[in-house]
């Protein structure tokens, strides 16, 4: 991922996937079924690439005081993409059976916009200085990103980080699990990355239609209620982006998982009693919106920037590879197992997801360090103390022995 840089890698890979997927849908005979459209290269298979590279580039390029806000913009545009997909998928637009090729090819539009804008972006200053050792280009990129020439303080911080990373090489994904100095980081990545996908948010989107029908919404109007769920996630992603540097990452994650546990419990009760009280379906419908709002507060955005802040420059690309693999694997397992949960647990199908939310909140409260307002070097030093509690200092000096006194 580092070879060639963040922007160039994202540019080339997105060019390939954006061209093959949507164009194959456009070449599908008009009026063909959705399965026929999906027989070619997956039209959205480039999403995994951009979801890894984009937050890493934003997190590395932003100043420490605004790192969370800048990195959270990735969650905002992800939620915006969900809403746009729901809107263009309305039957009045491209949701009809005759417009499937055009609907699946619509992702070509943001892809083209991305291709047009990527060459205008400078490379990550950290990548230029630490990985490539190019101080002059790093300074130029830093000045361009900040819009000022007064960047010497931040450049000095980068030089300190570069000194700390000297002598190391880029880590491979499997090496992260073998290094004791990365134990807390890897566990946090695995636990919270898995919790994000296993918390039930994706499943509640799938279950929403039947709940809306039970609440008395006509079949032809359900699609508009579905758009409302996407708008809820977009709203809270924007709010989280505004407040993340004020309240911190841990508060947003704990608050999100606690609220999801609360509303998921009420949702389960409402499902069990919906045949006993006429207003219970409306309560269940309200819980769906509240659950999605709670998810957008913290887990939706904060989880994606953990790999940027918890790992150093040499381990960060491998961490994003591990995080991406975990999230997509868990999402696949949820999609595969949710029908069986519906059949086996009936109204209690969200109880396993509630357990995941509780575990996510507990882990965040007791094991995840706060990274708000800290440099990457300060975060690394704090995590080193957590990984090696018996050592009060950082890694031992491996250079020549320093003679502090002589005896005459």
The pTM of the full predicted model, rounded to 2 decimals, is 0.83
SS3 state of residue 46: coil
How confident is the chain (408 residues) per 10-residue block, as mean pLDDT?
51 51 51 47 51 83 89 87 85 76 77 80 88 88 88 88 81 89 92 91 82 79 87 91 91 94 92 84 89 90 89 89 89 86 84 93 93 89 87 47 39
Exposed / middle / buried, residue 146 (Cβ in 10 Å: 0-12, 13-18, 19+): middle
Segment 118-142, tens digit of pLDDT: 888 888 898 888 888 888 999 999 9
Distance of CA 186 to the CA centre of its chain: 16
The confidence score (pLDDT) of residue 361 equals: 94
**Opening angle at CA 160, ends 154 and 163, nearest 5:** 145
SS3 state of residue 12: helix
Contact 223, 95 (CB under 8 A): yes
Q: Taking the CB of residue 372, how many other CB atoms lie within 10 A of it?
A: 17
- To the nearest whole percent, how much of the chain has pLDDT over 90? 21
CA-to-CA distance for 149 and 126, rounded, in angstroms? Answer: 17
Q: Taking the CB of residue 95, how many other CB atoms lie within 10 A of it?
A: 15
The confidence score (pLDDT) of residue 20 equals: 54
Segment 378-403, tens digit of pLDDT: 998 899 898 888 765 544 434 344 34
- Sign of the alpha-carbon dihedral angle for 397, 400, 402, 406: positive
The confidence score (pLDDT) of residue 30 equals: 47
* Token pair belonging to 71: 């990195």
CA atoms within 13 A on the CB side of 294: 25
């Amino acid at each position: 991922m580092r070879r060639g840089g963040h922007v160039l890698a994202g540019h080339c890979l997105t060019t390939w996937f954006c061209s093959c997927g949507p164009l194959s849908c456009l070449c599908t005979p008009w009026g063909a079924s959705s399965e026929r459209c999906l027989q070619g290269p997956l039209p959205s298979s480039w999403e995994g690439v951009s979801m890894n590279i984009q937050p890493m580039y934003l997190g590395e390029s932003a100043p420490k005081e605004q790192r969370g806000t800048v990195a959270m913009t990735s969650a905002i545009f992800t939620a915006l993409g969900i809403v746009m997909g729901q809107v263009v998928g309305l039957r009045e637009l491209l949701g009809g059976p005759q417009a499937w090729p055009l609907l699946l090819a619509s992702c070509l539009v943001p892809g083209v916009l991305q291709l047009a804008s990527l060459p205008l972006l400078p490379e990550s200053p950290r990548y230029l200085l630490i990985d490539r050792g190019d101080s002059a280009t790093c300074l130029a990129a830093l000045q361009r990103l900040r819009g000022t020439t007064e960047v010497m303080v931040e450049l000095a911080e980068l030089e300190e980080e570069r000194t700390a990373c000297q002598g190391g090489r880029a880590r491979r994904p499997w090496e992260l699990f073998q290094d004791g100095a990365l134990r807390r980081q890897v566990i946090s990545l695995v636990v919270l990355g898995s919790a994000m996908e296993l918390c039930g948010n994706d499943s509640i989107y799938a279950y929403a239609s039947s709940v809306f029908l039970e609440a008395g919404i006509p079949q032809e109007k359900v699609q508009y209620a579905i758009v409302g769920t996407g708008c809820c996630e977009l709203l809270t992603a924007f709010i989280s982006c505004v407040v993340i540097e004020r309240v911190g990452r841990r508060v947003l994650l704990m608050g999100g998982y606690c609220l999801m546990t609360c509303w998921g419990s009420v949702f389960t009760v409402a499902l069990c009693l919906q045949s006993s009280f006429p207003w219970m379906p409306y309560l269940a419908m309200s819980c769906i919106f509240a659950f999605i709002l709670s998810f957008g507060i913290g887990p939706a955005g904060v989880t994606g920037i953990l790999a940027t802040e918890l790992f150093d420059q040499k381990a960060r690309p491998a961490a994003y590879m591990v995080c991406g693999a975990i999230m997509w694997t868990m999402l696949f397992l949820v999609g595969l197992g949710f029908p069986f949960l519906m059949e086996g647990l009936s109204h209690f199908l969200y109880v396993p997801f509630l357990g995941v939310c509780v575990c996510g909140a507990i882990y965040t409260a007791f094991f995840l360090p706060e990274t708000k307002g800290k440099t990457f070097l300060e975060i690394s030093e704090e995590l080193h103390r957590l990984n090696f509690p018996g050592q009060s200092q950082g890694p031992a000096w491996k250079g020549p022995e320093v003679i502090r006194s002589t005896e005459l």
